[in-house]
Amino acid sequence: MKRMLIPVASMLAIQVMISISVLSLSVMMPAVAKDLAIDPKLVGIFTAIIYAVATVMALAAATPILRLGAVRVCQAALLMAAIGLALNAMAAVGATVAAVIFIGAAQGPLNPASAHILTQRVPREYFGTVFSLKQTGVPIGFALAGVIFPFLLGWVGWRGASLVAAAAALAAALLVEPLRPRLDVIAVGSGPRSTIWRSIRFVMGHGQLRVLGISAFVYVIAQHTFTFYLVTYLYENCGLSIARAGALLSVSQLFGTAVRLVSGGVGDRLPRMQLLGWTGVGMTAGSIAVGLLTSHTPFWLTALAVVGYGAVVISWNGTSQAEFAHLSPPGEAAAVAAVQTALAFSGAIFGPPLFALIASQASYRAAFFAVSACVLIAAVWQIAVARRGVLPA
C-alpha cells in the first residue's frame, strides 16, 4: 500500500494543478474579454484549441516518457502550464492565444505519463480504483478554479491571478523533483518501443481496445456537452436562474465524482467493458431525461434529471483508462494511453460545436437526443463485445 501511496498522490496532485490551469481562462473570461475588447464567447474557441493541442501532445508523449521518464514529462507539462498562464498576464490577444496553446500542450501528456507510472506500481486488481481516483483530480481542479480565480480577481485582478497560478504551477514542478529518482527509475534507460502510428494500429486492431477508444470519443461528447451547455440550457429552455442552474451543475459534479470512485471500485470486481456499457445506457436515459425538460417541469424533477445525468456522465473515464492499462502490452501502457487520451480529447473538440449547431438549427431537445442516440450505440457495442469476449485481432 505504501508503494502505491506516493505515485497515486503525486499524479492526483499534478492532475489537479493542470485542471486548474485548463479552466483558468474560462473562469476569468468576462474580465479578460472586457480588457482585451474581445467577445467572451471566444472561450469556446479557446477551449477547442486547448483540446486540439492536447490531442496532438498526447500522441507525441509516449516516446519522451520512455526516454526522459514520466515524472520529467509531468514537470515539463507543469512548466508549459506556468508559461501559458504567465503569457496570459501580458494582456494581449496574441499572448492569450499563445497561452491557450501552451496550456493545451500541458494537458496532453498527463494521462500517458500517469498510466506509465501507475501500471508499474499498482496491482492490476486495483487499477479501476486507482485510475478513477487519479481522474477525480479533474473535477477537483475545476471546482478549485471556480473558487480560487474569482477570489484572486477581486484581489489582484485577472493579470495578477494568472501570475499567481503560473507561480503555483512552477512550484508544483519543483516540488515533485525529489520524487523523480524513485518514480522514474524504471522509465529511465528504457528505449522507445513503439511509434505513434504503431500504437494507433495496435489499438484500432485490438478487438476490445478499438471499441473502448471509439466509445471514449462518444462518451466525452456527452460529458462535455453536459458540462459546458447545461447552465445556458437550463436558463434559456427551463427558465431557471443562472444561480440555480450553476448550483445544479455543481451538485451534479460532486455526485459524479463520488460515482466515479464507486465505478472504479466496481470495475475491479466486474468486467469493466460491460460496466462501461451499462454506464452508457444510464447516460442515454439521462440525456433523454434532460432533453425532455421544459419551463413547466417542477424544479425537483429538473434537479433529479440533471443530478442523475451528471452522476453517470462524468463517472466513466477512470474505468476506461484502467481497462486500457489492463489490456496494454507490458511496458507500453503510456503509448496505449496516449491513443485513448487522443480519442477522448477529439470528442471534446468536435462534440460541443456539433451540439451547438444542432441546438441552433433545430432545438436543444434534438441535440440531447442526438447525443443519447450516439451514446446508446456505443454502449450496446461495448456490452456485445464484452459478452463475446473478443480477443485481439
pLDDT in tens, 11-38: 999 999 999 998 888 778 778 888 888 8
d(CA 82, CA 144): 17
* pLDDT score of 194: 55
Per DSSP, the three-state class of 138 is: helix
pLDDT at 1 over 60: no
Q: How confident is the model at residue 195 (pLDDT cuts 50, 70, 90)?
A: low
CA nearest 10: which of 137, 198, 147, 102?
Answer: 137
Cβ-proximal residues to 240 (8 Å cutoff; 6+ apart), any chain: 234, 248, 299, 302
Q: What is the pLDDT of residue 124?
A: 79
Confidence category of residue 192, pLDDT binned at 50, 70, 90: very low
> Is pLDDT at 188 greater than 50 in this prediction?
no
Rounded (5°) CA angle 139-145-146: 90
How many Å apart are CA 332 and CA 350, to the nearest integer? 28
Helices (H) and strands (E) in the chain, counts: 17, 0
Distance (Å, whole) CA 383 – CA 342: 23
Detail the DSSP E strand segments found in the chain.
Answer: none
pLDDT for 99 equals: 94
Q: Which pLDDT tens digit goes with each residue over 270-284?
A: 889 999 999 999 999
- The DSSP 8-state label assigned to residue 178 in this structure reads G
Range 139-156 average pLDDT: 84
Mean pLDDT of 83-112: 93
Written as nine digits, the cell of 4 is: 502505491
- For residue 243, is pLDDT > 70? yes
**Whole-angstrom Cα distance, residue 78 to residue 57?**
14
Q: Is 242 a residue whose pLDDT tops 80?
A: no
Statement: residue 392 has pLDDT above 60: no
Query: How much is the mean pLDDT over the chain?
Result: 87
pLDDT interval class at 247 (50, 70, 90): confident
Q: How far apart are CA 112 and CA 70, in angstroms?
A: 8
Quote the CA–CA distance of 209 and 322 in Å, as a whole number: 12
pLDDT confidence of residue 372: 97
Q: What is the CA radius of gyration of the chain?
A: 20
Percentage of residues of the chain with pLDDT beyond 90: 38
- Whether residue 50 contacts residue 107, with contact meaning beta carbons closer than 8 Å, is answered with yes
pLDDT of residue 389: 64
**C-beta of residue 4 within 8 angstroms of C-beta of residue 183:** no
- What integer pLDDT is reported at residue 218 of this predicted model? 96
Task: Kindly tell me the sign of the dihedral angle through the C-alpha atoms of 271, 274, 276, 278.
Answer: negative
Does 182 or 347 have the greater pLDDT score?
347
144 grid coordinates: 478549485
Mean pLDDT of 222-228: 86
Name the residue among 120, 112, 123 with its Cα closest to residue 183: 120
Q: pLDDT higher for 232 or 211?
A: 211
When pLDDT is cut at 50, 70 and 90, the band that residue 190 belongs to is very low
Q: Which residue has the higher pLDDT, 124 or 37?
A: 37
pLDDT for residue 187 = 42
The whole-angstrom separation of Cα 222 and Cα 374 is 9
Q: What is the pLDDT of residue 252?
A: 87
Position 390 scores a pLDDT of: 47
Reference 54, options 96, 108, 7, 5; nearest CA is 108
% helix / strand / coil in the chain, to the nearest 5?
A: 85, 0, 15
Place of cell 484500432: 204
pLDDT given at position 14: 94
Q: Please tell me the distance from the alpha carbon of residue 57 to that of residue 73, in angstroms, as a whole number.
A: 11
Higher-pLDDT residue of 185 and 319 is 319
- pTM value is 0.81
Residues 334, 108: Cα–Cα separation, whole Å: 12
Q: Supply the pLDDT for residue 393.
A: 41
CA angle 27/31/36 to nearest 5° reads 120
Mean pLDDT value across residues 303-329 = 90
| 39 φ/ψ angles, rounded to the nearest 5 degrees | -75, 125
How far apart CA 392 and CA 10 sit, in angstroms, is 33
In this predicted structure, the answer to whether residue 84 has a pLDDT above a threshold of 90 is: yes
- Sign of the Cα torsion 188, 191, 196, 198 reads negative
pLDDT (0 to 100) of residue 257: 86
Candidate from 6-15, 101-110, 118-127 with smallest mean pLDDT: 118-127
What would the grid cell of residue 148 be?
480560487
Is the CB of residue 14 less than 8 Å from the CB of residue 73? no
